[in-house]
Structure 1
Amino acid sequence: MPDSLRSFFFGARRQVITGALSRVTADSIYLSVRSSAPFAIARSDVRSVRVSRGESRTWSAVQTAALFGMAGVVTTSSDNTRFPLAARYGIGLTVGAIVGAIWPYEQWKRIQK
């Protein structure tokens, strides 16, 4: 669907809609959004469809641990004598795993058109 504002500054113009699939016809799909009646979207306007796989504490912890581990290595000083590289990476992994397990995020799977 065209949108007057860009979702991402350098990305293509698009609008993200999250809802439950109500009905499918030959030329439209109908979505139910919270506190709203189902509305139609032309199938030709849909660029991609993703299905929620729910929140996964384990997967969120693994991904966040990897991100924090890399950030711990990259952002700390280059003085390896006081704080070795392995220690910085280990602290980042540990903190990331804890953060990811406490605040899991939703996992999405793309459906082919």
Structure 2
Amino acid sequence: MSSDRAPPERPEPSGETPDESTGDDEIDASPERRRDVLSEVITMEPGTRRTANVEMLVIEAELVADGHEPDNPAIPVDTETGEAFRDRIEDTDLVPAWTRPWEGADE
């Protein structure tokens, strides 16, 4: 089976080097320079942790009740998980860790 279409044409080379066309000389950059550039783009801040594990949410709430202040507490992945967590701690004094109750305690 053959095609009657002509092959696609290739663009004419511009004669510019990658450095000239992009204005970016990172191709030949030293490892230190690459690290500096990446550190400007990549942050070390953790993203939001989401979980469907109700037991993990309970454990984190218990840790907060014991005085621990987690840096990045998990939040329920969906409404069903949140409702299951609420039902699980209903008859306790536990507070969800993701609400960060320790941050408002000093006010």
Give me the TM-score of the superposition, normalised by structure 2: 0.22
Higher helix share: 2
